[in-house]
Amino acid sequence: MSDTKVLKLVPKGKVKVSEAPAAAAAPAPVEEKKPQPVEEKAPPLKTFRPAPITKIEPASLPKPQAPPTVSKPAAAPERRRDKNERRERRDQPRLSREQLLEMYRTMYLSRRLDDKEIQLKNQNKIFFQISGAGHEAILVAAGMALKPGYDWFYPYYRDRALCLQLGMTPLEQLLAAVGAAKDPNSHGRQMPSHWGNTKLNIVSQSSPTGTQLLQAVGCAEAGYRFKLIKELRKRASNFRKDEVVYVSLGDGTSSEGEFWEALNSACNLKLPVLFLLEDNGYAISVPVEVQTAGGDVSRLIKNFPNLYLQRCDGTNALESLAVMKRAVQYCREGKGPAFVHAKVIRPYSHSLSDDEKLYRSQEERTADAERDPLKRFDSVLIDEKVIDQDGLQKIKDEVAALINEATDQALASPQPDPDTVKLYVYSPDVDPTAKEFDNEAGAELSGNAGTMVDLINRCLHTEMARDPRIIVFGEDVADCSREEFLAQVKGKGGVFKVTANLQRKFGSARVFNSPLAEANIVGRAIGMATRGLKPVVEIQFFDYIWPAMHQIRNELAVLRWRSGGEWKAPVVMRVPVGGYLKGGAVYHSQSGVSIFTQIPGLRVIYPSNALDANGLLRTAIRCDDPVLFLEHKHLYRQAYNKSQYPPDDFMIPFGKAKTVREGNELSIITYGALVQRSLVAAKQAEQKGISVEVIDLRSLQPYDWNAITGTVQKTGKVIVAHEDSLSFGYGAEIAARIADELFEFLDAPVRRVAATDTFVAYAPQLEDIILPQVADVAKAIAELQSY
């Protein structure tokens, strides 16, 4: 057989995939009600035809912040359909013998790596295994259609074959399995099959299903924004004008709300995101008809505008390649996102922690085995005389030798040094507690005094002028999304006016409104930050941050550490917080900061006055870590915390407390709205002859332990005051550490003043009882002084 033989996939007549014996196992087109029965024999090439296009191609890219209005297209005339068919025929992939065999080799390599890991797990040489068996055909096809190091990849744990096709080696995958220090995916910090590779643009993957989807949208949106922001066009060295962002998911993940949020934003902005649904029919033990209304997510999403929807038999390697190439081309041409629904199988259990025999019938498992992509492609190669059985066996022997050699190397590779566990929790390159972030002393102030809102707004203006990478978005943050009305309206600029006039000054490409979806805000911001933009996003109220908790706790804060320093996402999240509003009630008065301060990798900042807010926000924007920047709503426009304006480079370092009142008999350690209440109580105590020192922490993670140590040693009596609930609140940590490390300096037990262990009520007289007041602090001072 000639090594230069080219195999061209030619459709025959107008037979649909589902009707042809060759593709009897493929999923039915969207308009059909039932798939055809499974045939045992693998498809001969001469009857292959790719799945039909199910969407009319939409119009060109929209302007920023003006998503196109898309009406339902009329049915295409016969002439148009004939043209599309001719185009599909012209676009059929031409594969040489070498390409076909390499395709098979990668599929086989992926399967045998799964088998090797299962063997190693049974030998207690590795600690976890989850396979990509049954998904190999569609994943190798995806890797062939896309470009490693050019396109971007957000895979999920079944995507072993994709990563091999992109260039990851068997040794690199086995290094992850044994948890080796040289594992390029996570350096021993994550389970195997949690892919990541900076050279290949495979962004570090986590375990939560679906969180990667919004990040992929943000990654693609970064390229979209770079094209629109004039100042960044020459700096876009890692952007390609026709790049595609690949993201994959299982059928179970399509039940997650973030799946729908991701589709919504990708379609609205016509972003080049290629969604690959690898539908093996099960989410662990839950079948697809239980997960999804009608058992077919393609039917549910078919009316998304600008979405190129394709279905294919993901166990058929050649059909998968044709469909993937068309989907990739659609994205490269800037027409919008594509969605490929690939029906695959799961011949092994969900993972080695699962036993599918407990919930799947033998008949069902046997039927799946007949659709095994390796078995089918093996038959294609033999039937078409691309290779004979001896040739295939030679490939299998070579793969086995390669895996055995890689296994020996992986098992001999050193484990991570225990001393490295604290590396990459925070940035090793930029330290926001360092002196270069401290020019507070002697800063010259000028102009009329402004509120906290005014000085935060000024900081955003000056920083956006300094750095064109800064992107501001969230709910209601723009002045007016419909730009044609900007000249006629005053503009919104946030519900508290903190972002007023930013859109007018810097344009809609840099300042824009998001959907009312907090996970959408944070997830997209992570994807943008991964590409080098600097998102400064707003969650409108702390009370509604919880839908984004997955993205904050399991993605944003963890990304750098879990990848061993390979990836980062230094997002700033501005969040109005707190009560004392007279009418804020349960859902506009929350203050649960301790939930966030205990998350490693996340900086938490909480200014009590206008000047501190300006300097600390600037530090937050210029540092290299994710920051939760809390802005107390009650303090936004208080006269007592106003300040003149500092210089445009004014910064306050993180972890530096401020002594706002000197004293020598008793110390109050506090932050936020309790600073002013503590000052008032301290002045009242002074009239009774008690000298009280008040420390404003300003920064909660990190906090200034040196300042705490100094004041405890100075006075010997300490009150920790905060707006959190008393039990398990932020002050509990401070009090416990003082008792643990500074007990010898104490003249009395550490006292806490905090909110009651309830929620904040609407009625003012109830709120006054629930939240700590000046009288509560004054009472604690008197009681502690008399101890």
- Dihedral, 618, 621, 625, 627 alpha carbons, nearest 10: 80
Let me know how many helices (H) and strands (E) the chain has, helices first.
25, 23
Verify cis geometry, omega within 30 degrees of 0, for the bond prior to 414.
Answer: no
Amino acid in position 203: V
Sequence letter at residue 544? Y
Query: What gap in Å lies between CA 56 and CA 43, rounded to an integer?
Result: 29
Q: For residue 531, what are its two tokens? A: 């590409």
Q: Are 431 and 195 in contact (CB under 8 A)?
A: no
d(C-alpha 348, C-alpha 160), whole Å: 14
Q: Which of 353, 280, 275 is closest to 313 using CA atoms? A: 280
Pairing of strands 282-283, 94-96: unpaired
Using DSSP, state whether 153 is helix, strand or coil. strand
Q: What span, in angstroms and rounded, lies between the C-alpha atoms of 389 and 384?
A: 12
- CA 5 from chain centre, in angstroms, equals 45
Q: Could you tell me which residues come within 8 angstroms of residue 564 by beta carbon, excluding any fewer than 6 positions away?
A: 186, 187, 188, 189, 423, 424
CA distance 185 to 208: 17
C-alpha to C-alpha distance for 178 and 113, rounded to whole angstroms: 13
Given the residues 187, 588, 634, 722, the one annotated as active site: 588
CA–CA separation, 535 and 516 (whole Å): 17
Among this protein's residues, is 588 annotated catalytic?
yes
Sign of CA dihedral 512, 513, 514, 517: positive
* Listed residue (745, 755, 749, 683) closest to 708, CA to CA: 745
**Is 281:288 a contact under the CB 8 Å cutoff?**
yes
Q: Are 264 and 516 in contact (CB under 8 A)?
A: no
Helix (H, G, I), strand (E, B) or coil at 728: coil
Catalytic positions:
588
